[in-house]
Structures are given as C-alpha cells and as structure tokens.
Amino acid sequence: MRIGFKTTLAGALVGVAIFATPASAQKINFALNWVAGGDHAPYFYALRQGWYREAGIDVEFEQGRGSAASAQRVGAGSSQLGLSDMAVVLTARGKGAELVAVMNVYANSPQGMYWLRSSGVRTIRDLAGKRIGNPPGDAARVMWPALARANGIDPNSVTWVNIDANAKLAALRARTIDATTSFFNLHHIFSRELGDDMGFLPWSDAGLNPYGNSIIANGAYLRANRDKVAAFVRVTQRAFRTCVDNSQPCVQALVDAQGGLRLDNEMVNWQLVTVLMSDETARTRALGWHDDARMANDFKLVQEFVGLEKPYEVRDAYTNEFLDAKIKMIAVGMPRF
C-alpha cells in the first residue's frame, strides 16, 4: 500500500500546486517498518513541507509488516530505502542482503515486554513456559534469544503465538497469550487499556539495549545514487529535529495524510519516540549517529545469540557520512499521559 496525502476539498487545488514534483526528481520507495503512526510523523512533515521535492527526490512511503519484511524489501531492491530494527538488519546482512544503515532513529531499544500481573508473572524469568503473542515478522523474535539468555532463560522455553499487532491487547485480556512485546512509543495505549494490572519491563532494563530502528539503504542503490541517499538523510534528519522542537504541526501532517488517526494519541506516540531518540551520542555527535562501539557490541550479540550465515565486517553495515553534525538531539523527559 502506497501512502499519499489526502487533501480537503477546499485545499485540493492548492495541494496540487504545493506537492507537484519536478520532472527531474528521482523516485524513491521507502518501506516503513509498520503501519504509519506517530513515530513516522517527521517523514510526512518533510513531505508536506516539500523538502524532499526541493532536494530532488520524489518519495513514496509503503506500509510495512515488521522490520524483517522491510529489511527484505530493501535487501531485494524492491524499495531503495526503508526503516528496520538494527538487529534485524545485521541478521539479514548475514544472510546475504546488502543493507547499509544511513541514519539511526531509536538510539535506545524500543522493545518492552507486557503481561497481566494477575496472571502471576512478576519478572522476566516467569515467562518460561508461557505463550508470547507476536507477528511472525517482528524484530522482537529475532532478539529474543539474546534477551532470554541474558536473564537465565532457555530461549526455547516459550511458545510464540502468531497474532496481528493490533490483536495484542485483546489477546492479553482474553488470556489466549500470557505476554507480548511492543514498542515503547505505544506504551500509553497499553497503560490506558490494562491499568494497574499491566506488567511491563523495558528490554533496556533487562540487560539488553541494542540500537532500534535505523534508516537503511539497498547497497547497490547507495553506490549508484549517493547524492540521492544523502539528500534523503539530510532532509529527514532536519525533519526529526524540527519535530522535536515543534511537534504539533509535524504530527498534524501525519494525521492529515492517514485516515483514522487521532492527533492526541499520535502526539503522545511521538513524545515517547523522542525519549527513544535521545542518548549521549545523539546529543553530542549528531542526531542519527551510529556509535562504533555500540554497533560492534550489537554485532557480537547477533553473532552469539542469533547467528550469522555469512561473516562480514560490521563497519560495512552502516555509515554516518550523510549526517549533518550540526543537527543534534536534546535531552527529553518522560511525557505525562
């Protein structure tokens, strides 16, 4: 499904003029990691502002079905760029997919475990023998062995149940699953729906904090179109920082483009995303920077707990060369909801 803007009838004629793309602009397909939500707002803000068009690129966003699916699309060249969890990217590259991360989005792992306290689960070790519901293409499944072993759990002691992402809460309440995983930017929804019965553990507090989502490029496309990838990264980095500073117009652009989204809900989603974006490297080097030491550590985690079919140098899996060092992240606090 390709994503385009929906203009109101009153603004339709104006919208045609604003969003017209120069004939010289190069088309880029960008594979989202999931259905568009608050965490994707900066891309839609940049699109609405015409920043991609001004940079000579015509970007189309495609709805995703998990990080594994978006990494597969970019690796196969079906999409030139995409968004995927870094552990999934490292694993896919070990299977021969030529993927290169060009900008980090989640400097902190967004993964968290959710369960019902009334089920008797109190700690992550209590998940042994339980059923965890998750989409089959979700990044959490890739890194579960690392999380389990870091906490003394046999990775094979849980049963994975295939469910749609939108069915997680209903499955928990119906007790057809015992636990699920979700990104932190949806924490407010779980908190609202489960209340005091919600059990939660962020993976970063359980001894595992690998990089989360990064923008990735197809390797062959990157070699042939470095200027276009550079243009996309420059615009997107600028958009993310702009949306940190002034979030309402940014999230409004997303809501206007996507039917069925509520501004208040996606505003909280985006505010939680800013917590995931902020670490010392993003605040001192550049927003979107991949730290060499952390990448090396993440690579070792994937090697040890997931396995790589083909060896490669981790430094070939990412680059910071397109980032503007003048654009830095800021420290942010936990939002109230």
Q: What is the CATH number of the domain that holds 70?
A: 3.40.190.10
Residue 336 lies in a domain: no
Do residue 87 and residue 216 come from a single domain? yes
For the cut 60, the answer to whether the pLDDT of residue 298 exceeds it is: yes
Do residue 148 and residue 67 come from a single domain? no
Q: Which domain holds residue 220?
A: 2-107+211-317
Q: What is the Cα–Cα distance from 217 to 324, expressed in whole angstroms?
A: 18
pLDDT digits (tens, 9 = 90+) for 170-189: 999 999 999 999 888 888 88
Three-state SS for 108-132 is CCCEEEEEEHHHCCCCHHHHCCCEE
Length of the chain as a residue count: 337
For the cut 90, the answer to whether the pLDDT of residue 142 exceeds it is: no
Residue 327 lies in a domain: no
Side by side, the strands of the sheet bearing 2-3 are: 2-3, 57-62, 26-31, 81-85, 213-218, 99-104
Q: What is the Cα–Cα distance from 282 to 285, expressed in whole angstroms?
A: 6
For the cut 90, the answer to whether the pLDDT of residue 18 exceeds it is: no
Do residue 166 and residue 46 come from a single domain? no
For the cut 80, the answer to whether the pLDDT of residue 227 exceeds it is: yes
Residue 239 lies in a domain: yes
Phi, psi torsion values for 81, nearest 5 degrees: -135, 160
Question: Which DSSP string do the residues of 259-285 spell out, in sequence order?
Answer: TT--HHHHHHHHHHHHHHH--HHHHHT
Do residue 37 and residue 133 come from a single domain? no
Q: Which residue has tokens 């057809």?
A: 176
Q: Which of 152, 104, 18 is nearest to 286 (CA)?
A: 104
DSSP bridge pairs for 31: 62, 82
- For residues 224-238, average pLDDT: 98
